Amino acid sequence: MTTILKLENYKVYYETPNGYVRAVDGVNLEVEKGEILGLIGESGCGKSTLVMSLVLPKPPMKIMGGRALLGKIDLTKLSWDERRKILLTKLSIIPQYALDALPVIKKIGAFLSDLAKDKNIPEDQVIEKFIERIKLVGLPTNVIDMYPLELSGGMRQRVIIALSTIFSPDLLIADEPTSALDVSTQRQVLELLRNLRDTGIVKSIIFVTHDIASVRQIADRIAVMYAGKIVEISSVEEIIKNPLHPYTQGLIRAVPVLGINYKKKRLSGLPGQPPNLLNPPSGCRFYPRCKYATPKCIKEEPPSVNINSRIVSCWLYVKEVPKK
């Protein structure tokens, strides 16, 4: 299997007057060619920081260590000019709040001419590529002559998808791409993203969300993030049917199940709050909320263990080596 993205002990902090906020703190993660990896977790767990830092790490965000290999390119070492060259061609993003990402005072066509200049590619080639994509996303070609304000939310999201995949990037990051859309448009956007992967227009996708229902519809594997760390990675079915990490168990329990009357049965959400990442707890970062926590969890950070190709970071799954 070919690995498209490999993160090794990757750390991204925010510099603040009170110290560093350890938003992404030692993440190891691989995205394989042809896969859609769902990245899930509560707000503030570091998932958006992680993906934005790959695309555009700008202050107060600071890459503090590790490597982020996109093929052979270490993204942590790129200058701004080198990064600009690979954006849209090798790595692309549908940003959070993408609906506001298009400049309202410019027609889509004017935006394409800017893009052609920026990439030093003849404008007619860029327009030709865009028309190919715009047909694929199911929009009429006359959107080129329209202002973003003239488009509905769903149409604007499709334009953003067409633009972000215009040069067939190896890796597409979709950061909460459906959160501002109505349910039927959400489903269409998920189908569109899967189609982009199935037709090979993008090789792999990282789909960032806090919504388990949508990640379930689109992803092959899921990585669960908590307080700056990846705590579990498994296939979608395994995570949904048999979550291993106590945090993942809480997340799955918090999802409503069809057929249950929640007036009678309360949704069992996760009690407590995530820790302050300016000063995270020692040991396992989930221990203040974990009903299985032991003194060892408070003192020592659990290692990541591999159980039948599932990765989990929790002392419950670490086998004690018998003393001789």
Binding site for ligand SF4 (CB under 6 A): 246, 284, 286-287, 290, 292-293, 297, 302, 314-316
DSSP code of residue 252 = H
Least CB distance from residue 119 to ligand SF4, whole Å?
A: 46
Contacts of 243 (CB under 8 A, 6+ apart): 232, 234, 249, 251, 252
> How is residue 102 written in tokens?
């298009």
CB of 40 to ligand SF4, least distance (A): 16
CB of 283 to ligand SF4, least distance (A): 7
CA count, 13 A, side-chain hemisphere, 242: 4
Residue 133, token pair as written in the block: 């994509």
130 versus 287: smaller Cβ distance to ligand SF4 = 287
Kind and range of the H or E element at 208? strand 204-209
Nearer to ligand SF4 (CB atom), residue 13 or residue 287: 287
Pick between residue 71 and residue 288 the one whose CB is nearest to ligand SF4.
288
CB closer to ligand SF4, 240 vs 293? 293
The nearest distance, CB 193 to ligand SF4, in angstroms, is 32
Residues across the chain: 324
Q: What contacts 103, CB < 8 A, 6 or more positions away?
A: 111, 148
Strands 171-175 and 204-209: parallel
We find the least distance from the C-beta atom of residue 315 to ligand SF4, in angstroms, to be 4
Is the preceding peptide bond at 281 cis, omega within 30 degrees of 0? Answer: no
Of 201 and 316, nearer to ligand SF4 (C-beta) is 316
Both tokens assigned to 13: 């902090």
